Amino acid sequence: MQSATLGENTSEVEVTHVSKHGFWLLLDDKELFLPFVEFPWFQCAPLAALFNIERLQSHHLYWPDLDIDLTVESIEHPEKFPLIAANG
């Protein structure tokens, strides 16, 4: 996990559960679900890569092993971000 810069207050983020349908993140005091149908980049990812997540800023998450950046808003409101990568 990347350390925060002095004066920067970012709490941790944690993958709490993985199923065949998606995975859950614990972020601050809420749990968010990322369904593979809407976030297909994670579906075939190794668990170690899925669990290696950095919270670069309060609204910005990064999976370095997968080179995936997501904003919290795109997770909370995927309908606002209609671009979905093709599987395969």
DSSP secondary structure letters along 30-69: EEEEEETTT-GGGTT--HHHHH--EEEETTEEEETTTTEE
Give the residues across from 74 on adjacent strands. Answer: none
The pLDDT of residue 47 is: 96
Which of 23, 1, 19 lies closest to 10 in space, CA to CA?
1
Residue 2 domain-assigned?
A: no
The pLDDT of residue 2 is: 45
Range of the domain at 35: 13-80
The pLDDT of residue 64 is: 97
Residue 37 domain-assigned?
A: yes
- The pTM (predicted TM-score) of the whole model is 0.77
Residue ranges, the chain, pLDDT below 50: 1-9, 88
Residue 73 domain-assigned?
A: yes
Residue 70 domain-assigned?
A: yes
Number of structural domains (the chain) is 1
The pLDDT of residue 81 is: 79
Amino acid at 46: P
